[in-house]
Amino acid sequence: MKAFVALLMCLVLFSCYALVSNALDTITTNQSLRDGQSLLSAGGTFELGFFSAGDPPKRYLGIWYKKITTVTIVWVANRVAPLADASGTLRVTSRGSLVLLDGNGSGIWSSNSLIPVLNPVAQLLDSGNLVVREADSSDPNNFLWQSFDYPTDTFLAGMKIGWNRTSGFERYLTSWKSIDDPSPGNFTYHLDPNGYPQLLLKQGSDIKFRSGPWNGLQWSGTPNLGPNPYYRYEFVLNEEEVYYHYELLNSVITRKVLMPNGIVQRFTWIDRTQGWTLYLTAPIDQCDNYASCGAYGSCRVDTSPVCRCLKGFVPRFSHEWDILDWSNGCVRRNPLDCEEDIFVKYSSLKLPDTRSSWFNKSMNLQECKVVCKKNCSCMAYSNLDIRDGGSGCLLWFGKLIDIREYNNYGQDLYIRMAASESALLPSPQRKHKLVMGLAVSFGSVFLILVLLTICVLQCKKKKMELPEGGIRTSLGGSENVECSGEDPKLRLFEFATIANATNNFSTDNKLGEGGFGPVYRGTLKNSQEIAVKKLSRSSGQGLDEFKSEALHLARLQHRNLVKLLGCCTQKETLLIYEYMPNKSLDTFIFDQEQRKLLDWSKRFHIISGIARGLLYLHQDSRLRIIHRDLKASNVLLDCELNPKISDFGLAKSFGGNETEARTKQVAGTYGYMSPEYAIHGVFSAKSDVFSYGVLLLEIISGTRNRGFSHPDHPQNLIGHAWKLFQEGRSIEFIDQVVINTYNISEIIRTIHIGLLCVQKCPEDRPTMYMVILMLGSEMALSSPREPGFFSETKGPHASACVSQPELCSNEVTLTALSAR
């Protein structure tokens, strides 16, 4: 009873943490902190103490959030020298050094601050900074030592990442080795002081990601990290120091962490859900990978392929470039000459690597150009600060590396180019040049005229040659599509060729029935194997529409999509794909024998591959495409069991800002269709996410959603997964074939992700981008709610979509659809 009263008092009075958890507020030389005790910050936000991690568990001295139920470690003292048992003691020596002793009294970690003081105390500040200072010092910010100088993997408000330029002392982040091993991992996050400073994420000595230089508001390569109301960050560069830091503007709890897998993520704590939510991530996409397009190459996520050379540059090795190996980058079309060179403006860029750059804060753009022009090894210049119309000067020496282009973001860069590239200058400037030329001499005008004439003649000749040289396809008459050099990828096949290849569409060659018609296997004369899809006439699409769509689809290139080789529009509408020898996923996962070939690592590989293919369709490809019929039989496997999504041929592509559409013709497959699509015909990328979730659960369980039955309950596979998940029995959901092969926790986590994908409301489902992040990291997952369509019973109490009664009313349509 007394204890109860004490506890109650504690709830009322904040000050009695010490009473409950045996916490201290400072450690003096006469005290020590033993395992089981803790040191609290004055505001009670952070706590210092001992914690266990790893298997077998080891003990570490660390700092974590006091009030957050999910233990979140923000700093570790002895990350390389763990304690073997719960016998650790932390002391402050009379010389002001913190030492951590093991059970035998030998020091295993020390702060090594050796400034003799009278009365040193250790204190945990409310910022999460563990400091040692003179107890009676008049200056409370005069620390003998502070943990903020030795960050581990977490960047807290008030910390600095960067350098003391006088002493050469650097503060940087180092990842944990793994999620439960705090020892230093392979990834580090630095502020690189060479040239104009920028943040670099490194794996060992390799650069993985670069923030780009600071432009006065933010880093040049982080469009998502603009000024915001939650925290204010700042880049400081002065004689004494160069660093990056942030401070909180309200009571939001946020931390930035360098994860063991080399991703930098910012999380914020949401009290309502009692969980950390992901706020920002870097690197974010393919174009964030350092130098992904090589020197003078530019990366654009919304084009396919993502890399191209900057205007005026050509691939260094075109044979490599053609097979999507961009690492050697691009070279100038016309060599520089130094004296005569011009500067061409390129806009909306992430500025190139500044490690070999030079800057001056007080020069303006014109002065900057003059300085750059004078030095022949200066390759480009730009403003240093984009605020107030731009100021400062940044010059690059050597190759320009790691450039990307954005749509509504990015900076201007002026690149040194040969004078012969003056066509790249904007027209007014060009006119200016021409006028100058006129003034200089009549002779040069004459020369220009001659050159122009030659050029015009040449171009004409080229144009006339084009039909021969370009890929003109073998169809006769009006059916001809003349592919000019720009779209060489779609081949138009003659009907006879395909009929020949498929033995006149014989039943022996039939592979199966796809979403929009039968599929045949064939062999072309050059012995290339193909799969031919015959589209049923009923699709109602006009020929032109079809051709333009097929042309677009031919440009989709991703290793998790089946490649469309060409099409045929004579007599029949045919789509010709590459042939996949291992057939489709359903012939593996649902087959008693074949399923044994897929252990967990293969299944996970397939699950991740499908996710990447879908993300490409949804987001990365130039067209944004909703597949609408993702299912096991539409995922083909190549000889190495890499998944390739097929049948996206008649998927819906979206223009610019459309995100959702409605169709009268609900085509899809029962069991994979999301509620909003099956019932209202509304589809969006999120309906594909639903189908993906079903497919994921099927891959893990080796069971079809459609037709699943369980003796204990009437629910389908989704319902079964949900029921087991809620009861903490997800392990029973896993296919017996894989249960012994691998890390169970990873499989259970994947089931969790699957359940998030099959949520009833589209807005509760993650995007494919999030799915890939979740699959590839250990980030916290939100709790799934009841999924959609988890029951197939037809009674009046059927499914639990009480909130949206109309979702239940249309069972008949569903049954009719199930014929497919």
**Interface with ligand NAG, residue 30, by CB under 6 A:** yes
Q: How far is CA 670 from CA 283, 673, 698, 706, in A?
A: 38, 6, 14, 7
**Interface with ligand NAG, residue 362, by CB under 6 A:** yes
Pick the closer one to ligand NAG by CB: 746 or 806. Answer: 746
- Least distance (Å) between residue 310 CB and ligand NAG: 22
- Which of 137, 186, 268, 619 is close enough to bind ligand NAG by CB under 6 A? 186
Per residue, the 3-state secondary structure of 649-696, as one string, reads CCCEEECCCCCEEECCCCCCCCCCCCHHHHHHCEEEHHHHHHHHHHHH
Q: Which stretch binds ligand NAG (CB under 6 A): 194-202, 359-367, 758-766, 790-798?
A: 359-367
DSSP letter (8 states) at residue 506: -
- Which of 240, 658, 746, 806 is close enough to bind ligand NAG by CB under 6 A? 240
| Cβ atoms of 412 and 349 closer than 8 Å | yes
**Interface with ligand NAG, residue 485, by CB under 6 A:** no
DSSP letter (8 states) at residue 216: S
**Interface with ligand NAG, residue 238, by CB under 6 A:** no
Pick the closer one to ligand NAG by CB: 133 or 631. Answer: 133
- Least distance (Å) between residue 265 CB and ligand NAG: 17
**Interface with ligand NAG, residue 375, by CB under 6 A:** yes
d(CA 31, CA 566): 79
Q: How far is CA 582 from CA 513, 529, 644, 757, in A?
A: 16, 13, 11, 27
**Interface with ligand NAG, residue 164, by CB under 6 A:** yes
- Least distance (Å) between residue 688 CB and ligand NAG: 32
**Interface with ligand NAG, residue 103, by CB under 6 A:** yes
**Interface with ligand NAG, residue 87, by CB under 6 A:** yes
> By C-alpha distance, which of 418, 551, 407 is closest to 489?
551
Q: Which stretch binds ligand NAG (CB under 6 A): 15-23, 83-91, 436-444, 487-495?
A: 83-91
Q: Which stretch binds ligand NAG (CB under 6 A): 13-21, 277-285, 356-364, 805-813?
A: 356-364
**Interface with ligand NAG, residue 363, by CB under 6 A:** yes
Pick the closer one to ligand NAG by CB: 204 or 805. Answer: 204
**Interface with ligand NAG, residue 740, by CB under 6 A:** no
Pick the closer one to ligand NAG by CB: 377 or 504. Answer: 377
DSSP letter (8 states) at residue 782: P
d(CA 355, CA 196): 7
Q: How far is CA 621 from CA 434, 532, 630, 655, in A?
A: 41, 24, 17, 12
Residues 298-327: x/- map of binding to ligand NAG (CB under 6 A)? ------------------------------
Long-range contacts of 707-712 (CB under 8 A, 24+ apart): 707/671
- Least distance (Å) between residue 240 CB and ligand NAG: 5
Q: Which stretch binds ligand NAG (CB under 6 A): 72-80, 99-107, 413-421, 797-805?
A: 99-107
List the strands of the sheet with 529-534, edge to edge.
Answer: 491-492, 564-568, 574-578, 529-534, 517-523, 510-514
Pick the closer one to ligand NAG by CB: 15 or 362. Answer: 362
Q: What is the largest CA-CA distance in the chain?
A: 108
d(CA 414, CA 411): 10
- Which of 138, 167, 318, 507 is close enough to bind ligand NAG by CB under 6 A? 167
Q: Looking only at residues 392 through 451 of this chain, which bind ligand NAG when binding is defined by CB under 6 A?
A: 397
**Cis (ω within 30 of 0) for the bond into 56?**
yes
3-state DSSP assignment of residue 500: helix
Assigned token pair, 785? 């709610």
- Least distance (Å) between residue 237 CB and ligand NAG: 13
- Least distance (Å) between residue 83 CB and ligand NAG: 7
**Interface with ligand NAG, residue 104, by CB under 6 A:** yes
**Cis (ω within 30 of 0) for the bond into 57?**
no
- Least distance (Å) between residue 369 CB and ligand NAG: 13
Q: Which stretch binds ligand NAG (CB under 6 A): 360-368, 423-431, 445-453, 501-509?
A: 360-368
d(CA 210, CA 221): 7
- Which of 25, 170, 181, 241 is close enough to bind ligand NAG by CB under 6 A? 241
**Interface with ligand NAG, residue 366, by CB under 6 A:** no
The amino acid at 330: C
- Least distance (Å) between residue 241 CB and ligand NAG: 5
- Which of 85, 234, 658, 806 is close enough to bind ligand NAG by CB under 6 A? 85
Assigned token pair, 776? 């590839």
Rounded to 10 degrees, the C-alpha dihedral 621/624/629/630 comes to 40
Pick the closer one to ligand NAG by CB: 102 or 405. Answer: 102
Pick the closer one to ligand NAG by CB: 117 or 561. Answer: 117
3-state DSSP assignment of residue 811: helix
- Least distance (Å) between residue 412 CB and ligand NAG: 20
> By C-alpha distance, which of 299, 335, 295 is closest to 317?
295
- Annotated catalytic residues are 629
- Least distance (Å) between residue 374 CB and ligand NAG: 7
Q: How far is CA 50 from CA 24, 75, 76, 123, 267, in A?
A: 14, 11, 9, 16, 24
Measure CA 602 to chain center. Answer: 22
| Cβ atoms of 393 and 428 closer than 8 Å | no
# binding residues, ligand NAG (CB under 6 A): 25
**Interface with ligand NAG, residue 490, by CB under 6 A:** no
d(CA 173, CA 159): 11
Q: Which stretch binds ligand NAG (CB under 6 A): 19-27, 246-254, 358-366, 595-603?
A: 358-366
Measure CA 667 to chain center. Answer: 31
- Least distance (Å) between residue 231 CB and ligand NAG: 22
Pick the closer one to ligand NAG by CB: 164 or 541. Answer: 164
**Interface with ligand NAG, residue 84, by CB under 6 A:** yes
Residues 198-237: x/- map of binding to ligand NAG (CB under 6 A)? ------x---------------------------------
**Interface with ligand NAG, residue 150, by CB under 6 A:** no
- Which of 102, 153, 341, 698 is close enough to bind ligand NAG by CB under 6 A? 102
Q: Which stretch binds ligand NAG (CB under 6 A): 193-201, 357-365, 465-473, 583-591?
A: 357-365
- Least distance (Å) between residue 376 CB and ligand NAG: 7
- Least distance (Å) between residue 142 CB and ligand NAG: 10
| Cβ atoms of 302 and 620 closer than 8 Å | yes
Q: Which stretch binds ligand NAG (CB under 6 A): 1-9, 345-353, 355-363, 406-414?
A: 355-363
Which residue is it, tokens 């509620």? 675
> By C-alpha distance, which of 368, 308, 310 is closest to 344?
310
d(CA 177, CA 188): 11
DSSP letter (8 states) at residue 617: I
CB neighbour list of residue 724: distance below 8 Å, 6 or more residues apart:
730, 732, 733
**Interface with ligand NAG, residue 43, by CB under 6 A:** no
Q: Which stretch binds ligand NAG (CB under 6 A): 164-172, 230-238, 310-318, 760-768?
A: 164-172
Which residue lies nearest ligand NAG, judged by its C-beta? 103
Per residue, the 3-state secondary structure of 137-191, as one string, reads CCCCCCEEEEHHHCCCCEECCCCCEEEECCCCEEECEEEEEECCEEEEEEEEEEE
Positions in the binding site for ligand NAG (CB under 6 A): 28, 30, 84-85, 87, 102-104, 119, 164, 166-167, 185-186, 204, 240-241, 358, 360, 362-363, 367, 375, 377, 397
